[in-house]
């Protein structure tokens, strides 16, 4: 309350509601800001002076004492209680000389009765006005709250109707109590047709959740399958809660169609599978060419010592070797027309951290990260880069399991136009570094097969980078060199970004 105005706590509540003042004549209110205190008090005192002058001048046979309540009532609109009582005593004293002659006791009693009457009238006006003020204040507050609630409901309704996610409220019998427009589109119903419909056949996950007896609210997320009205099956991701509305159980849910995400994920997985098959096929082709070369050398030596050119079997053997060489002529190269990959290295490392740190915590190990806050985009596939990092981290995890100190340090440095990611563990190190990147599966000291490093190096080379082993006195150290995306050198890799690597 300020200056007779009720102000809403919400600045956007609309308009302020004007509160009544104490001054109200025949139902007409006079706001305090228009009838100021400096006008009311002089008017009240003027009325008292006028009544006193009237009685003094005309010497009336009857008392005008009842009229003294008018200035008291008028002044009660602006005075506090204590000052109303003081004004009442003043009015009683002003009319006392004009009462009929009586004893001192009667004069005192008349003065006291008049003072009580005037005070009671003034205080009654104050209490009535305050009670009315509180009532209207409560009404105004209730009206503002109703306006705010209606506005919030409209906003929520607009949000629900415009949401791309389906929003549903179901009863215990899986009947739809409320549904937005996206829910109708999701299940293939026309607008408004879902209300009152049972959807246990379309959303069996929710029907099963409602059947589970539980007194506590249930809030969870679930992935599953749903069915449209035309019997089309599709995957969904849902977030729902089961709650009690009085004696009945209800379910509120947000449902998202995951068909596009599933298709995109499967296409991506298939593409990565093809890439890895290409790597393995290239490795097999390389080894086959080596064997064919060795066989060709043996055949040439045999033909030099003993002429076998006229031997049909020997000629067939040479032709078979040449055919096998041509069949194995498979090289790892970028597909024609394929766009250059581009990955956010910071995002890949954040994903890596999320994946590997729980495994290291299980063995009471620690992963130490020395990664700048800003990293340039690199010319690599994000999924393939993550696979390289995961393979190195898993090898380190197996290597340090039996060590008293279990630690992996991941750091980043810069070299020319490349970004170098260094993985160094506290394991026993590499006993035969010359056999690390051979295609032949050679078990490593940490329990690995040794084939993963070959694939990781070929992946790095397919991006134009390299995977190297660095000789170290303690533990194993590997360096992954990835070129910075050329298109981003001028825009993304600014001087302040370069200084973060130094």
**Residue 12 scores a pLDDT above 80:** no
| Amino acid 256: pLDDT | 92
| Amino acid 18: pLDDT | 47
Structure confidence by residue, pLDDT tens digits, 145-154: 999 999 998 8
Give the three-class secondary structure for 73.
helix
| Amino acid 368: pLDDT | 92
Question: Residue 322 in contact with residue 289, Cβ under 8 Å?
Answer: no
Residues 6+ apart with CB under 8 A from 90: 48
| Alpha carbons 284 and 274: distance in angstroms, whole number | 15
Sign of the CA dihedral with 430 first, then 433, 437, and 441 last: negative
Residue of higher predicted confidence among 375 and 215: 375
Question: Residue 165 in contact with residue 31, Cβ under 8 Å?
Answer: no
| Amino acid 255: pLDDT | 93
pTM: 0.48
Section 349-377 average pLDDT: 89
Section 19-23 average pLDDT: 48
Residue of higher predicted confidence among 412 and 22: 412
> Residue 198: in which H helix or E strand, if any?
none
Low-confidence winner among 95-109, 319-333, 408-422 (lowest mean pLDDT): 319-333
| Alpha carbons 214 and 438: distance in angstroms, whole number | 59
What whole-number percentage of the chain has pLDDT above 90?
14
| Amino acid 100: pLDDT | 66
Low-confidence winner among 54-63, 110-119, 185-194 (lowest mean pLDDT): 54-63
Structure confidence by residue, pLDDT tens digits, 155-188: 888 888 888 899 999 998 889 999 999 999 999 9
User: What residue ranges of the chain are covered by domains with CATH 3.30.450.20?
Assistant: 166-257
| Amino acid 10: pLDDT | 44
User: What residue ranges of the chain are covered by domains with CATH 3.30.565.10?
Assistant: 345-499
| Amino acid 216: pLDDT | 73
Structure confidence by residue, pLDDT tens digits, 394-433: 889 988 988 889 999 999 987 668 899 999 998 888 877 7
Tokens of 436: 């690390």
* pLDDT grade for 27, boundaries at 50, 70 and 90: low
End-to-end CA distance of the chain: 62
| Amino acid 129: pLDDT | 79
Structure confidence by residue, pLDDT tens digits, 430-473: 877 777 766 554 444 444 445 678 778 888 888 888 998 888 87
What whole-number percentage of the chain has pLDDT above 70?
76
Low-confidence winner among 1-5, 273-277, 330-334, 339-343 (lowest mean pLDDT): 1-5
Please state, as a whole number, how many other Cβ atoms lie within 10 Å of the Cβ of residue 168: 24
Sign of the CA dihedral with 450 first, then 454, 456, and 457 last: positive
**Residue 62 scores a pLDDT above 60:** yes
Give the three-class secondary structure for 415.
strand
Report the Cα 57 to chain-centroid distance in Å.
84
* pLDDT grade for 478, boundaries at 50, 70 and 90: very high
| Alpha carbons 399 and 331: distance in angstroms, whole number | 33
In whole angstroms, how far apart are CA 154 and each of 136, 150, 157, 158? 27, 6, 5, 6
| Amino acid 32: pLDDT | 52
| Alpha carbons 140 and 143: distance in angstroms, whole number | 5
Question: Residue 196 in contact with residue 176, Cβ under 8 Å?
Answer: yes
| Amino acid 425: pLDDT | 92
Region at 28 (left for phi over 0; alpha for psi -120 to 50; beta for the rest): beta
Question: Residue 283 in contact with residue 454, Cβ under 8 Å?
Answer: yes
**Residue 9 scores a pLDDT above 50:** no
In whole angstroms, how far apart are CA 34 and each of 29, 43, 47? 11, 15, 20
Fold entry, domain 345-499: Heat Shock Protein 90 (3.30.565)
Give the mean pLDDT of the chain: 77
| Amino acid 302: pLDDT | 74
| Alpha carbons 201 and 61: distance in angstroms, whole number | 98
Please state, as a whole number, how many other Cβ atoms lie within 10 Å of the Cβ of residue 179: 24
Residue with tokens 């305050």: 130
β-strand pairing of 477-483 with 466-470: antiparallel
Q: Which CATH superfamily is domain 166-257 in?
A: PAS domain (3.30.450.20)
Tokens of 136: 């209207």
Section 210-230 average pLDDT: 82
In terms of average pLDDT, the best of 67-71, 274-278, 380-384, 466-470 is: 466-470
What DSSP state is assigned to residue 447?
S
Question: Residue 426 in contact with residue 400, Cβ under 8 Å?
Answer: yes
| Alpha carbons 7 and 29: distance in angstroms, whole number | 19
Section 378-402 average pLDDT: 88
Residue of higher predicted confidence among 125 and 491: 125
| Amino acid 61: pLDDT | 62
Residue of higher predicted confidence among 256 and 502: 256
């Amino acid at each position: 309350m300020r200056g007779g105005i009720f102000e809403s706590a919400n600045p956007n509540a609309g308009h302020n509601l004007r509160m009544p003042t104490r001054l109200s004549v025949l139902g007409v209110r006079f706001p305090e800001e228009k009838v100021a205190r400096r006008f009311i008090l002089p008017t009240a005192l003027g009325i008292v002076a006028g009544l006193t002058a009237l009685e003094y001048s005309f010497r009336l046979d009857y008392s005008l004492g009842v009229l003294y309540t008018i200035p008291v009532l008028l002044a009660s609109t602006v005075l506090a209680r204590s000052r109303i009582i003081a004004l009442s005593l003043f009015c009683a004293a002003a009319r006392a000389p004009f009462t009929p002659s009586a004893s001192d006791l009667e004069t005192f009693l008349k003065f006291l009765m008049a003072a009580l009457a005037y005070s009671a009238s003034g205080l009654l006006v104050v209490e009535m006005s305050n009670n009315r003020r509180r009532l209207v204040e409560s009404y105004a507050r209730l009206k503002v709250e109703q306006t705010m609630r209606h506005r919030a409901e409209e906003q929520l309704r607009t949000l629900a109707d415009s949401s791309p996610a389906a929003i549903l409220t179901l009863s215990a019998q899986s009947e739809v109590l409320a549904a937005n427009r996206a829910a109708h589109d999701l299940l293939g119903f026309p607008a408004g047709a879902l209300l009152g419909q049972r959807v246990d056949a379309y959303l069996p996950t929710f029907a099963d959740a409602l059947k589970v007896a539980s007194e506590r609210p249930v809030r969870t997320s679930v992935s599953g399958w749903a069915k449209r009205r035309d019997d089309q099956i599709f995957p969904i991701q849902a977030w729902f809660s089961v709650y009690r509305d009085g004696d009945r159980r209800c379910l509120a849910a947000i449902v998202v169609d995951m068909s596009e995400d599933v298709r995109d994920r499967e296409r991506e997985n298939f593409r990565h599978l093809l890439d890895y098959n290409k790597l393995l096929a290239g490795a097999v082709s390389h080894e086959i060419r080596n064997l064919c070369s060795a066989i060709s050398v043996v055949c040439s030596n045999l033909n030099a010592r003993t002429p076998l050119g006229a031997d049909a079997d020997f000629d067939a053997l040479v032709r078979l070797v040449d055919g096998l060489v041509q069949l194995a002529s498979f090289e790892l190269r970028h597909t024609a027309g394929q766009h250059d990959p581009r990955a956010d290295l910071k995002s890949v490392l954040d994903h890596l951290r999320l994946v590997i740190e729980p495994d290291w915590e299980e063995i009471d190990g620690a992963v130490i990260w020395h990664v700048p806050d800003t990293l340039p985009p690199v010319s690599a596939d994000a999924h393939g880069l993550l696979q390289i990092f995961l393979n190195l981290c898993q090898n380190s995890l197996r290597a340090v399991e039996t060590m008293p100190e279990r630690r992996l340090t991941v750091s980043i440095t810069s070299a020319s136009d490349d970004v170098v990611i260094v993985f160094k563990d506290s394991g026993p190190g590499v006993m035969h570094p010359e056999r690390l990147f051979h295609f032949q599966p050679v078990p490593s000291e940490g329990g690995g097969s040794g084939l993963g490093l070959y694939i990781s190096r070929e992946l790095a080379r397919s991006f134009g980078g390299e995977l190297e082993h660095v000789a170290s006195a303690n533990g194993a150290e590997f360096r992954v060199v990835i070129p910075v995306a050329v298109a981003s050198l001028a825009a993304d890799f600014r001087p302040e970004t370069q200084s973060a690597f130094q």
